[in-house]
Amino acid sequence: MKILIVDYKIPMECEKALCKEGFSLIKLPADPSLNEAVASHPDTVLFYSDGEIITTADYCDAAAYVFSDIRELRPEVKISFTADARGDIYPRDCIMNALIIGDRIFCKTDTVSDAIKDFATRRGYRLIHTNQGYPACSVLTFGESAITADRGLAEVMMQNGVRVTLIGAGSISLPPYEYGFIGGASGVINNKVYFFGDITSHPDSEKICQAIRSEGYIPCSLSSGELRDVGGFIAL
């Protein structure tokens, strides 16, 4: 069984499309300590890599049934909880927000959870500092390539060997904010890049799809209409 962890507010059309692709969905409830707009975004409430999930102990209480389901369906997945206090004001809202590309973890190292730093040490990852506190939201990554609208992140990634396609900001929905981000509007499994919405609705869709196809990946739109930032998904 292929399992995806998603925001409980995932659009119904996207949910149905993922189910048709053969995925079973686990929906994350909101973390009451976070702003409602992102409180159930996978890339904000959880860190996941190498078969290990890290989140806060407070969120464990708020989403106890979710972690029970994960343990039942994926007993091999390690789940770690930290005493970190998450909050709805930056940078306390992004302590779990980190982006893995190859053997590097891009994150705001002065605010990211110590549990992620410990994970990096244990697993042999290099921590790369970014001024951007939301790298996982801001970047779509596939293999050693990335797509982002954040110029600062783009520069740091390129300095560390990542092939970057820079796009314009906006054209991604995340109410009540002005716009959302490409990382939160997408997810990658095997050789497919899934988009929450219709990728052709984005002004830079041709550039995005060309970058994806050039690396041997296939862009897949999960619904009609504008792209929507739902915090991406986590594939178990």
C-alpha–C-alpha distance, residues 90 and 67, integer Å: 26
Is the separation of the CB atoms in 172 and 228 below 8 Å?
yes
How large is the greatest C-alpha to C-alpha distance in the chain, in angstroms? 44
Alpha helices, H only, the chain: 12-20, 42-45, 57-62, 64-73, 114-123, 135-138, 151-159, 205-214
Residue 55 to residues 32, 165, 188, 206: CA-CA distances in angstroms? 14, 30, 21, 36
The single-letter DSSP state of residue 93 is: G
Hunting for tokens 């707009």 — which residue is that? 37
Kindly provide the residue ranges of all beta strands, DSSP E only, lying in the chain, ordered along the sequence: 2-7, 23-28, 47-49, 52-56, 78-82, 99-101, 104-107, 126-129, 139-142, 145-148, 163-166, 172-173, 186-189, 192-195, 218-221, 227-228, 234-235
pLDDT at position 171, please? 97
pLDDT at position 1, please? 76
C-alpha–C-alpha distance, residues 5 and 15, integer Å: 11
Give me the domains of the chain, ranges plus CATH numbers. 2-85+97-235 (3.75.10.10)
Could you state, in chain order, the average pLDDT of each consecutive group of 10 residues for the chain (236 residues)? 95 98 97 96 98 96 95 96 93 96 97 97 97 97 97 98 97 96 97 98 98 98 98 97
C-alpha–C-alpha distance, residues 38 and 71, integer Å: 24
Model pTM score = 0.96
pLDDT at position 120, please? 98
pLDDT at position 95, please? 97
Q: Which two tokens stand for residue 27?
A: 């929906």
